[in-house]
Chains A and B, each alone.
Chain A
């Protein structure tokens, strides 16, 4: 009888309350301040956080909790238990900071932190041309000693006001436009505190859409989080379209390694595709010239623009020409030949005369008549990371030819560049 009563009493009373512990109601909030600007650190929503350790209980070592930092560099949490906490901004794009110990949380507490970012992104410029968006910035690193390697500069576009590594349009058209660096500051920029201008884009956008865009750059520390520019709102007009007469970046086609060929000897030598023209003097390899696949056979085609006179028994190349003919609008132009850049068999061997030249009409003049060209420059002796360029102006739309003129009569003469460019500079 008493047993039944006891069981009944227990079962009734034990369930009276769901929980006898009050819900946590202590608030902590504050700002993470960029030591350079005194403003909040530019962040992406929830990209990293403030680690906190509850120290009131000292029997065991507590596991950290993390309070997310918002896009505007502030944080706020009002569901904590009162007590003494250690607090540390952790995992963000800044130099490590010391833990703030013994913060007493009770009621509402403001706790600000000051951090020193690894990188600052300055001179952020956004330009919209038709449906193409171009972003520019410079990198600035006041502290360079011990700075981890630069990783990349990446564009972040979003259709909401949240933009950054945690909220962005994740498509190859944008992601592939990031500038991958992976070098130390000294290798990439030098001793200066501020880099040159990086240009990211053009990024295709859609008419009538509003984008929120920014750039981020990171270094190879443990967390590789980004330092950001501010967010810029870009409204693409509903009737925006690309200019059909738009000036291309490079008027030359097939002008960068890996070069593509048309027909070849199935081993090494051939002709270049994409508008390249040779004269007879340049076609010293079984009637072909201009393309050099390297000496490792067809399975290891090196895909280079190249011509040479190597052994004494070979036909000399006298006034050999390799060029493209293009219709140019009026304006100022620059024609550049680069041995710097990618090409596994880059070479500029020998000292025989060799020129880049631009001339009006459908061919280039001989070396003896180069004075008649719009512009020319010799490049014998330029080494494997050298660049040569010439500038010229046209007062009216003109058909011009641009390319190489060489006299290779000695042995061991060759040219295998990385890229060529004909661009409008004004």
Chain B
């Protein structure tokens, strides 16, 4: 009996006391009061969202269908970069990918909406300025996610509220909004952000000027999409007829004006074109991307070498842009500038007016008279990086009597390239001519016996964003941490110039072009305005389906020059609706240098790329397909985008 009693007591004790502490808040889990109730909590909450912003930077894996923004930071992003995919770089890995990768960040948008909806509950914890600033920042973040959607899909569902997952199915199956409404929604969110945020500056974080910079870019996109979509021939496509893919040309000027206004707001901020490296305008241009305190950077995305392990706070850019073993200790360079882009800049003639190749005393003389910005963007033979000198040569001609065209674009079938007159080779190969031994190639290429990896393909390597201060032994995968410049004043000037020109304000547009070209060190900083019409583009002599004034084409080319390698080109081609013509069998040419043995001189020849690779985009690229999996869940997303 007594024993039984003891058991009852023990049981009672267990039942009564064991559950007492279960209602405690778990330690280490942050709830809304902690996150939304003070600015540090909000910062933590936003940090997660910033991490997911659709910024196409070093890690962007433009062809990957699983996760193009690569949270795992896979090193091969350097092989599959947007520049490689769109033909801005020459490489041998990827071709144009029209299909996209099913970007659909409504989970992140929901997190922003949660904040916008619930943050006012904690109104009393903040001053007016601080409260408005954070609410504005949330609108900036939401606009950025919608920009990532709109530039891929056109019109998408605008979800402004936090949806209840148990709600009515019909309300959860949100249909697509029109493309016009989507861009307008981005405009409204960013206007809200500009009106509510301050100019206070924290690296890597938005303020009102950053919001204005995003507004400048988005509205330029919207304006050109509105203006040029009529030339796509999509009139019979269901999505276009429903206003989901394409806008009315009459709506273009509204957006161009927003772009100009946004640019003015940015100019009120504390930014200036980077000139700290003057008078050497070439190095200055290269440094503008590396200087952590650059006056030109409006928003940067930071990386940090001290972060533990192989996580996404490091990248591999240097290891994949520089030749191994002299300047990289990893696989070596994966991307090279094609001649088609070199030609956009002012550079010395390598062919005489009578058609013969110019004779150079040294390969490095190609740099003489070259636009400083070009030298700041690319490395050439004779330039020094990490204590080593670039050395790029494709081969040797025993003699070269004839026109440059006699080489027939480097074809082996050309008589001048036959019968042992042209000598090609691999790394370190030599040949003896008249008793003298010559190296056939440069130390960094071009090696005829090797493929596209670590092989100087042409006459240049990419310099933009390469950090010269790393020791070669340190240049490995996941060892780079230079920041990515998301917005810089140079881009904003170009946005404004293009929008002004589209609005017919030609002189004002060239006021901005002049600023850009002066800093670039161009010989002609302000070309005369040429209103003659042309439908022929510069790169690949593209045959546009519409005509533009030659000066507008000049402004477009100025973007290609200034923003080369910054992942703008592909999006620019898309919004101009010229991608399917510029990338119409776009067969890169490369500039190859040769030693002419009987003269002791060097020549440069424009050659077709050795692999005869070409890039072709179809009209499908202008709109990516709404992810089929999402359509399976929500058939209100139909009609699908054109051509799918």
Contact = CB atoms under 8 A, between A and B. Distances in A.
B540 to A, nearest CB: 11
A11 interface: no
Contacts of A151: 543
Chain A interface residue number, banded: 20 to 34
B545 interface: yes
Nearest to B613: A170
Given A151-B543, A172-B587, A261 B643 contact: no
B631 A220 contact: no
A221 interface: yes
A222 B619 contact: yes
Interface stretch (B61-69, B231-239, B382-390): B231-239
Interface residues of B, number: 34
Q: Top 6 closest A-B pairs, CB basis?
A: A221-B233, A222-B233, A182-B543, A273-B354, A61-B635, A260-B353
Nearest to B527: A300
A27 to B, nearest CB: 26
A172 B631 CA distance: 42
Contacts, number: 63
A108 interface: no
A157 to B, nearest CB: 14
B232 A222 contact: yes
B409 interface: yes
A220 B544 contact: no
A148 B235 CA distance: 11
B517 to A, nearest CB: 13
Contact of A260 (B354, B635, B638): B354
The binding surface of chain A is classed by DSSP as: loop
Interface in A302-322: none
B618 to A, nearest CB: 8
Interface string B89-100: 000000000000
Nearest to A180: B543
Contacts of B528: 296
B545 A222 contact: no
A152 B541 CA distance: 14
Contacts of B532: 344
A334 to B, nearest CB: 26
Contacts of A260: 353-355
B524 A96 contact: no
Contacts of B587: 172, 175
A170 B586 CA distance: 12
A337 B342 CA distance: 36
A426 to B, nearest CB: 30
Nearest to B355: A260
Contacts of B535: 182
Interface string A173-212: 0010000101000000000000000000000000000000
Nearest to A181: B543
A170 B585 contact: yes
Contacts of A261: 353-354
A222 B642 contact: yes
Contacts of A91: 643
B523 interface: yes
A299 interface: yes
A148 B236 CA distance: 12
Contacts of A262: 353-354
A61 B638 CA distance: 9
Interface in A331-366: 344
Contacts of A170: 585, 612, 614
Contacts of A221: 233
Interface in A49-98: 60-61, 63, 91, 96
